[in-house]
A and B are shown apart, each in its own frame.
Chain A
Amino acid sequence: MNRHRVLFVALVLASVSVAPALRAQGTPVLGIADARAREAVEREIARAADRGLPTRSLIAKAQEGVTKRAAGERIRAAVASQARRLEQARDLLAPSPSEAELVAGADALAVGVPAPMLRQIRAAYPAGQSVAMPLDVLTELIARGVPATHALEQITDLMKRGASSAQIAGIGASVQSDIAAGLTPDAALEVRARGVMSLLPSPAAASALAPSGRRP
Chain B
Amino acid sequence: MSDSMQDPVISRVRETLRSESATRPDPVAVARTLQTVWAAPRPVWWRRALDAWRMPALSGLATSAVAAAALLVGFVTRGAVQTRDALDPVAAAGPATEEFPVQFASYEGEETARIATQFVFEHATAQSVSVVGDFNAWEADALPLTRLPNGLWTVTVPLPPGRHVYAYVIDGTLVVADPRAPKAGDADYGREGSVVMVFAR
Q: Which residues of A contact B (CB under 8 A)?
A: 3-4, 6-11, 13-14, 16-18, 20-21, 23-25, 56-57, 59-61, 63-70, 74, 77-78, 81-82, 100, 103-104, 107, 110-111, 130, 132-133, 136-137, 139-140, 143-144, 165-166, 169-170, 172-173, 176, 179-180, 215-216
Q: Which residues of B contact A (CB under 8 A)?
A: 53-54, 57-60, 63-64, 66-67, 69-71, 73-74, 77-78, 80-83, 87, 110-111, 132, 134, 137-140, 160-163, 165, 169, 173, 175, 182, 184-185, 187-189, 191, 195, 197-201
Complex interface: chain B residues within 8 A of A11 (CB): 66, 70
Given A13-B74, A18-B73, A70-B189, decide whether A176 and B82 contact each other with a Cβ distance below 8 A: no
Contact B197 A169 (CB under 8 A): yes
Candidates B187, B197, B201; contact of A140 at CB < 8 Å: B197
Contact B188 A14 (CB under 8 A): no
Contact A67 B71 (CB under 8 A): no
Give the distance in Å from the alpha carbon of A172 to the alpha carbon of B83 in the complex: 33
Complex interface: chain B residues within 8 A of A143 (CB): 182, 184-185, 195
Chain A at the B interface: SS class: helix
Closest 6 CB pairs of A and B: A17-B74, A169-B199, A14-B70, A21-B77, A78-B188, A136-B163
CB of A104 to closest CB in B, whole Å: 7
Contact A137 B163 (CB under 8 A): yes
Contact B77 A17 (CB under 8 A): yes
Candidates B83, B137, B161; contact of A63 at CB < 8 Å: B137
Complex interface: chain A residues within 8 A of B82 (CB): 24
Candidates B73, B161, B185; contact of A133 at CB < 8 Å: B161
Given A67-B138, A170-B201, decide whether A4 and B69 contact each other with a Cβ distance below 8 A: no
Complex interface: chain A residues within 8 A of B60 (CB): 3
Candidates B80, B81, B188; contact of A82 at CB < 8 Å: B188
Give the distance in Å from the alpha carbon of A24 to the alpha carbon of B191 in the complex: 30
Candidates A16, A67, A74; contact of B169 at CB < 8 Å: A67
Contact A10 B67 (CB under 8 A): yes
Contact A74 B189 (CB under 8 A): yes
Give the distance in Å from the alpha carbon of A115 to the alpha carbon of B130 in the complex: 35
Candidates B78, B162, B195; contact of A100 at CB < 8 Å: B162
Complex interface: chain B residues within 8 A of A10 (CB): 63, 66-67, 69-70
